[in-house]
Amino acid sequence: MSATYSELRAQLASLTTEAFRPELAEIDQLPTAEIAALMNAEDQTVPAAVAAQLPAIAAAIDATAARMARGGRLIYAGAGTAGRLGVLDASECPPTFNTDPSEVLGLIAGGPTAMVKAVEGAEDSKDLAARDLDTLHITAEDTVVGISASGRTPYAIGAVEHARAKGALTIGLSGNPDSALAAAADHGIEVVTGPELLTGSTRLKAGTAQKLVLNMISTITMIRLGKTYGNLMVDVRASNDKLQARSRRIVALATGAPDEQIESALAAADGEVKTAILMILADIDAKAADQRLKNSQGHLRAALRKGETPDAD
């Protein structure tokens, strides 16, 4: 048995997420309904753990939005479940907020193959994280979020350390207190959900917590960037029939206009929901609406105030 292996065992034994729960040692003997009830009860503890970190989450979001407003990118980096959740959150931003695919990115240790198949040893390399980030040419305006349930994953820590050395904003999202990942980052977010139902299976409560926090980071950042009007997704990209129907409904909710006017505005705006809303509410044509939105950095409320500069992010 190598010293490295012994050290890793000791590290895992000290982590809350890896703790063994003897009261669940006979869980495989329980009826399915009882196991489901246990899992449901476990999941109900996650929101409270996230709530305890809201000040840290909000501070990280404000810092991220400020950099993205200046043209920076949001980049997630993780291994295994954590990496997959980052890739998932990034991939949902273009259809939801009409972001360019290069604006919000997800890196997973081992590359795209690791989304569906474990890549042996990838998570153990800080150098791999640095190389992956170097392909993106990290700048000081970017934000890099390292994600790791344990808070000790070398790939996530390496990503944060490398990004910080480049001057980028860094966030460390961990499921354990006093983690190396949080310590390495400008903003540490440690959502402690406790031992898992299945010992060490951090795709459960820890993964749920990570998903909730990533939802907050991307969604609230996009709200701050003017990607919404109230709680309406006015930058939605109508790439399929469902989203086209949603686009029309959003314009209707924002304006109260009749269907004929909505169809006309969307046609003139090439399907851009935000432009169509501004055309209707301000009674201007598509060209004028586009110019107002450009002058207001894409913030619809500011554009409705005739191009007034939006509140600072």
pLDDT in tens, 78-88: 999 999 999 99
105-110-111-114 Cα dihedral, nearest 10 degrees: -100
Task: State the chain's mean pLDDT as an integer.
Answer: 91
The tokens 């440690």 sit on which residue? Answer: 190
Mean pLDDT value across residues 65-70? 97
pLDDT for residue 9: 67
pLDDT band at 236 (very low <50, low <70, confident <90, very high): confident
What sign results for the dihedral spanned by CA atoms 116, 122, 124, 126?
A: negative
Mean pLDDT value across residues 256-270? 95
Per-residue CA distances from 9 to 13, 73, 97, 119, 121 (Å): 6, 36, 43, 20, 16
The tokens 């390495």 sit on which residue? Answer: 184
Q: Is 260 a catalytic residue?
A: no
Domains of the chain: 46-224 (3.40.50.10490), 241-304 (1.10.8.1080)
List 92, 141, 263, 308, catalytic entry: 92
List 18, 42, 123, 161, catalytic entry: 123
Mean pLDDT value across residues 223-238? 91
Q: Is 123 a catalytic residue?
A: yes
pLDDT in tens, 10-67: 666 667 777 778 788 888 999 999 999 999 999 999 999 999 999 999 999 999 999 9
Q: Please, which residues bridge with residue 144 across strands? A: 75, 170
pLDDT for residue 174: 96
